[in-house]
Structures are given as C-alpha cells and as structure tokens.
Amino acid sequence: MTTTIGLLSDTHIPHRMPRLPDAVFDALTGVDMVLHAGDVDDPAALLPLQDLAPVHAVRGNIHLTEFSDGGAILPAVIELSLTGYRLVLTHGHRPGLLGLFTKGISLIGRGMGLVSTHHFNQHIAHRLARLYTTADVIVFGHTHMAHVEYVGSTLLINPGAVCPNLCPGVQDQQSVARLYLDTGKPDVEIIPIR
C-alpha cells in the first residue's frame, strides 16, 4: 500500500498572501498526510489543510522587512517514521546571524546572476544530508524553488514555494509536491500551481 504525502513550503501567510490558494488544495487532495517545510507567518493559516489530512509543520526563518518570525512557535525539526522510512522535515536555513548572513549573500548572488537557485538548493541538501545521516527522506524549503536530489541513499526534496517570490532576478514558479512511499523506492511529483 502506498502512503501519499503532500509537501509544501514558504506560504508566507498572511504577510505575502492572505490565504492558501485553491490550487494547493486541488494538488494535495487525497493525500494521507501534509508536511509544511516552514515560513508560515501565522501557523493558524495551515488549519484548512487539516480538512485534507493530518498536518505537520516546522518554523522558517525570520524576515526582518516583514516583521515575521516565520512561525517561531513551531518546532525547528520534525522526525517521522512512515512506511518503513525515516523522514526529516526542516526549513533548511541556518539559524541565527550566520543564517541571516548566508541568506543575504545568496539573495545578492542570485539577484546578480552569480549563484543559481539550483546551486543554493544543492548546498542546503548536502548540508542537511550530513546533519541527518540516518534519514531516508529529508524535506526542506527556504529557496522558493523546487528541487529533488539524492545525496548517497538519502532523498532530499524541496517542494518549492506556494508564495510568489518577491526577489528581483530570481526565477518564480510556485509549486507543491506529492511524495509516494511504499516498499520500493520513494517517488516524488512536483506540481506547479498558479
């Protein structure tokens, strides 16, 4: 039997969006569980997702320009065991001043075309794979761009962002994902939303 998990991140509600778009509910209908990989300004904004399935969510990073704590009341990391797989859910950012500095450098580099979002995703994926060596699947967000990569035997997934990206020069494709777990290899489907 296959377990289907809906994945989303970077909703930024209510500071950048008033509510979850209907396309999110359409894309995630029929899932067994929903995982939100951080950056929801008000965790209560995720309550409508509970009509689809149980929801697990982690905090994101601080956004000084919006006076948002990224959902700081949520845990930083959630570890789950599902269908024989060890899953880790985290936003993927580095906390504290190092995180602010890293994000600033990344935004400047991406805005100038010096660093791609793909490279930023890879950097986060490899760091997380080193941190969570026993995980089979790691779900993260933060970059606003979908990414699927194996690092060794660990599958790393960034479902992308629900919220449109506000950074100049950064590619913008809103998306969510569906993760399929059974006795074989996990499968991921990235679903563009608009």
Are 78 and 56 in contact by the 8 Å Cβ rule? The answer is yes
Q: How confident is the model at residue 89 (pLDDT cuts 50, 70, 90)?
A: very high
Predicted pLDDT of residue 150: 97
Look at residue 61 and tell me whether its pLDDT is greater than 90: no
**Overall average pLDDT of the 60-71 stretch:** 58
Residue 170 pLDDT greater than 70, yes or no: no
pLDDT at 165: 67
**What is the DSSP-derived secondary structure letter of residue 16?**
T
Q: How many CB atoms lie within 10 A of CB 164?
A: 14
User: Would you say how long the chain is, in residues?
Assistant: 194
User: Is 125:156 a contact under the CB 8 Å cutoff?
Assistant: yes
The tokens for 187 are 């499968």
Looking at residue 52, its pLDDT comes to 97
Query: Under CATH, what is the fold of the domain 3-192?
Result: Purple Acid Phosphatase; chain A, domain 2 (3.60.21)
Which pLDDT score, from 0 to 100, does residue 43 have? 87
Q: What's the mean pLDDT in 114-130?
A: 82
Give the pLDDT confidence of 10-43 residue by residue, as tens digits: 988 887 788 999 999 999 999 999 999 988 888 8
> What is the pLDDT averaged over residues 162-168?
69
Which run of H or E residues covers position 120? Answer: helix 117-131
Task: Note whether 139 and 86 are within 8 A (CB).
Answer: no
